[in-house]
Amino acid sequence: RLTTMETRLIEVDNRLTTVDNRLTTVETRLTTTETRLIEVDNRLKVIENGQAEIKADVKNLQKDTTDLKIELTEVKGDIKTLDSKFDDMNKRLEKVEGTQKNQIWTLITVLSGSLLAVGFRSFFINNNP
């Protein structure tokens, strides 16, 4: 009986050793899993930080876009003003050109009249006996 008890105790001890080895293996796996979870958590934090930076960049881009739209509106207003001034200058130039044409025809008429008068005068003055 004592031998049977010793044998059974040895079997129990072997089984406990096996269970202990299995528990050690499970503990190692849990530690590995915990380490991996910590790594995943760190990666998620990096991703969250990156998302925060991207959101900030998007906000800056939206602000810049709004500023550009405002400036574009101002430029369009300036272009309309310049177009209006250009049209006014074209009209004034047409008036000046028309006035210059009239002045040239007037000058031609006056010069022609003067030449005719000088021609008649010299003809009549030179032909007098």
> pLDDT tens for residues 68-86?
999 999 999 999 999 999 8
3-state secondary structure of 86: helix
Residue 4 to residues 13, 14, 15, 116: CA-CA distances in angstroms? Answer: 14, 15, 16, 161
> pLDDT tens for residues 95-104?
887 787 788 8
Q: Average per-residue pLDDT in the chain?
A: 89
Phi, psi for 127 (deg, rounded to 5): -90, 0
The DSSP symbol for 57 reads H
- Whole-model pTM over 0.75: no
Checking if the pLDDT of 53 tops 70, the result is yes
